[in-house]
Amino acid sequence: MTPGITLKKGGFSQSLREALEDYYKAVPVSPSCTAMKWREWADNPNVIPFRVTKDGKKLGWIVYNSAESTIEEILRDKESTDEKDLFHMVDALIARETLVAAEILKEDTDRYRWMVEYGFRPTRFFTKNNVPVIKMDLSTSILFKRLTGHKPPGAYRRKERVAVEKIPESQTYPEIKKGLENLIKKLGGLKRFVKPDQTVVIKPNIVSDHGLKDGVWQGGIVTDTRVVKALVEILLPVAGKVIVAEGSSINRSETSKMFAHYGYDQQLVSLDPRKVSLVDLNTDEQIEKSVPGGKRMHSRKIPLTLEKADAIISVPVLKIHFAAIVSLAIKHLQGAVPPLEKYMSHFFGLWQNLVNIHHLVKPKLTIIDGLVGQEDFGPISGTPKKMDLLIGGINPVAVDAVAMRIMGIDPATSPPVLLASLQGMGPIEPRLIEVIGPDIQDVMSPFQQPEIDLTGGKDITIHGESACPGCRGYLHFVLTKLRRPDPKDTSRLLIDRPFEKKVNIFLGPTHDREINREEHNIFLGICQLHNAHQGTHLPGCPPHAEVIVNGLFGLFPDVEKPKYANESEEKKLGEMLHHILTMA
């Protein structure tokens, strides 16, 4: 970030109008285009003209749509003599607004060039007022890099409280329930979160059936049923209704089966069938809500059960996630949205959309089940790690920060947690978090993180030094499926099968290798969209496992593809998303 640059809200001045008209004289569009832009800005209260200066020198203007976090226009002043001033202007904007997008005219090739150089990528092509337009989204990796060491003006400043409760190693049900009561008491007592006769929704994590195989419990994958049961028992004397709600992510159409698999009907509903019920959030009625700031997506569909709840209690598990670093409070609400919304989160930008969900679904209380955590290749295939802990608080970012430090992990390494913090949702700094209970050092036990292996094969080379953990983690997940004997020649691995053309896989916003169009090039994610025309592009941010599986196993048409989830469900979701994009 360049010091000394200021953004100041201004007006739609004559000097701005003249600069606008002068700029577009060099762009092959109708003169009426600038007049139309000007009218639209004047009529939209969300459009803000910023005057940008550096040490008193006028650099230019940014016309910014705050409702959509989009740069409508960016212009240099006559006093600006260096094109890099445009970079400084964008730096100043992201220091204030974090993740932004831009809309530029397709014919404005010069602006497209420098925006790509900065870190914007072309995510959508459409027509606006009969003029071809490109939507440019800023790479999240570039955002993090450019904001390193910078504290945005909207950063969180209030001190939050997070409670930690140690449970006896024996983990008997009475001990767990007592520990849960103690945790809630440390945070102000149940009356702080639930009033008499209110409807309370408990959102546990039952992502898949992996937590109970052949009748044997595997801790650290799903929320311990004993924790959910104890919470229901604590709530029943006060709440009018207690709803346990989840939308499984792996087997999206089988949440009801997951409820039965983990005995929710027998162990929870049976406590009071008149007051306790189960809801599948994947099939629940939905309501569409606008996303404040419209970052990545302008609206999200939210299950009506969550919208109508008087109080939501989020109960994630203390575990590693191979792409998000951890799956705790921020990541947990991915299971609170319908299947198409889950799918679109990956397509448009998972990290930002996890933050967006927290603007629309707001748990009053988060309690992390740390009786048994999961290290290594979580969130499903890792190793159980006994921790004997419950961690809770009101602010999900603060809760994640404490939990991650207990896991021996820097909170700033998790993209969704860092992004939530940068956008002022909560603090990750220790000085802004009061820990109630044992000191972090007394309960800390470092979690083994997965080893991400992006080595290629004989004719497959990976170029991903600058990629974020998302693309790296999902690509690693798929590459492991290629490290098995090749059915054509079992003396070698499938990944080492020779190809007529060398295969290059590019991920992340930058790389040192020049692209050879005579080779087979595969480009991953939004960060590589500007290169999509030079090969095969796999969409998403990060691309979902199915997308990468389909892309890489296309190199091996004789080999059956591995299945990550129900193939017909994922195909249907992909078709629905394609329809939405076509209609937009």
Q: CATH number of the domain at 343, please.
A: 3.40.50.11440
Looking at the fold, whether 181 and 129 belong to one and the same domain comes out as no
What distance in Å separates the CA atoms of residue 326 and residue 330, rounded to the nearest whole number? 9
Of 86, 91, 9, residue with least CA distance to 51: 9
313 in a structural domain: yes
Strand (E) or helix (H) holding 372: strand 365-375
Of 147, 126, 129, residue with least CA distance to 138: 147
Looking at the fold, whether 421 and 477 belong to one and the same domain comes out as no
What distance in Å separates the CA atoms of residue 80 and residue 84, rounded to the nearest whole number? 9
Q: What is the sign, positive or negative, of the torsion defined by CA atoms of 425, 430, 435, 438?
A: positive
240 in a structural domain: yes
Looking at the fold, whether 437 and 469 belong to one and the same domain comes out as no
Q: Report yes or no: 336 and 317 within 8 Å, Cβ to Cβ.
A: no
Helix extents (H) in 119-261:
140-146, 173-186, 225-235, 255-261
Classify strands 317-321 and 311-315 as parallel, antiparallel or unpaired.
unpaired
Of 391, 380, 387, residue with least CA distance to 206: 380
Looking at the fold, whether 201 and 124 belong to one and the same domain comes out as no
Q: Report yes or no: 456 and 499 within 8 Å, Cβ to Cβ.
A: no
431 in a structural domain: yes
What distance in Å separates the CA atoms of residue 482 and residue 549, rounded to the nearest whole number? 10
| Number of structural domains the chain divides into | 3
Please identify which residue in the block is written with the tokens 């337009």. Answer: 133
Looking at the fold, whether 334 and 239 belong to one and the same domain comes out as yes
Question: Interior CA angle at 347 toward 246 and 303, to 5°?
Answer: 30
453 in a structural domain: no
For 17-43, give one letter per residue: b (16+ CB within 10 A) or e.
eebbeebbeeeeeeeebbeebbeebee
Residue ranges making up the domain that contains 124:
5-138
Tell me which of 417, 443, 469 is where a domain ends.
443
- pLDDT value at position 238? 98
- pLDDT value at position 562? 87
Burial class (CB in 10 A: 0-12, 13-18, 19+), 302: buried
Looking at the fold, whether 190 and 246 belong to one and the same domain comes out as yes
157 in a structural domain: no
Tell me which of 103, 138, 173 is where a domain ends.
138
- Would you give the DSSP letter of residue 176? H
Looking at the fold, whether 112 and 175 belong to one and the same domain comes out as no
Could you give the count of Cα atoms lying within 13 Å of 104 in the half-sphere of its Cβ? 24
Strand (E) or helix (H) holding 327: strand 325-327
> What is the CA 410 to chain-centroid distance, rounded?
18
Residue numbers of the chain with a pLDDT score lower than 70: 1, 152-155, 250-253, 564-584
Residue 358's identity, in one-letter code, is: H
Record the pTM. Answer: 0.95
Q: Report yes or no: 525 and 536 within 8 Å, Cβ to Cβ.
A: no
Please identify which residue in the block is written with the tokens 């792409």. Answer: 323
Looking at the fold, whether 125 and 242 belong to one and the same domain comes out as no
What distance in Å separates the CA atoms of residue 293 and residue 276, rounded to the nearest whole number? 36
Could you give the count of Cα atoms lying within 13 Å of 82 in the half-sphere of its Cβ? 8
Strand (E) or helix (H) holding 51: strand 47-54
Tell me the pLDDT tens digit for each residue of 7-38.
Answer: 999 999 999 999 999 999 999 988 889 999 99
- pLDDT value at position 512? 84
Gyration radius (Cα) of the chain, Å: 25
DSSP string, 260-298: HHTTHHHHTGGG-TTTEEEEETTTS-EEEEEPTT--S-S
Looking at the fold, whether 40 and 90 belong to one and the same domain comes out as yes
579 in a structural domain: no
- pLDDT value at position 151? 72
Tell me which of 443, 469, 497 is where a domain ends.
443
Q: Helix 350-360 vs helix 415-422: angle between axes, to the nearest 10 degrees?
A: 50
Looking at the fold, whether 98 and 28 belong to one and the same domain comes out as yes
Q: Report yes or no: 336 and 289 within 8 Å, Cβ to Cβ.
A: no
What distance in Å separates the CA atoms of residue 55 and residue 84, rounded to the nearest whole number? 16
Question: Interior CA angle at 287 toward 284 and 293, to 5°?
Answer: 130
Burial class (CB in 10 A: 0-12, 13-18, 19+), 386: middle
- 293: region left, alpha or beta (phi > 0 left; psi from -120 to 50 alpha): left
Strand (E) or helix (H) holding 505: strand 503-506
Helix (DSSP H) and strand (DSSP E) numbers for the chain: 19, 27
Looking at the fold, whether 421 and 465 belong to one and the same domain comes out as no
Q: Report yes or no: 137 and 123 within 8 Å, Cβ to Cβ.
A: yes
- pLDDT value at position 3? 77
Looking at the fold, whether 261 and 345 belong to one and the same domain comes out as yes
Q: Report yes or no: 358 and 396 within 8 Å, Cβ to Cβ.
A: yes
Of 157, 38, 48, residue with least CA distance to 93: 48
Report how far apart, in Å, the C-alpha atoms of 574 and of each of 343, 348, 471 are: 8, 13, 19
What distance in Å separates the CA atoms of residue 433 and residue 418, rounded to the nearest whole number? 15
169 in a structural domain: yes
Of 400, 326, 311, residue with least CA distance to 361: 311
Please identify which residue in the block is written with the tokens 């149940």. Answer: 190
Residue 60's identity, in one-letter code, is: G
201 in a structural domain: yes
The enclosing domain of 127 has a CATH number of 3.40.630.30
Q: Report yes or no: 378 and 322 within 8 Å, Cβ to Cβ.
A: yes
Cβ-proximal residues to 54 (8 Å cutoff; 6+ apart), any chain: 2, 4, 5, 6, 85, 88
Q: What is the sign, positive or negative, of the torsion defined by CA atoms of 321, 187, 386, 445?
A: positive
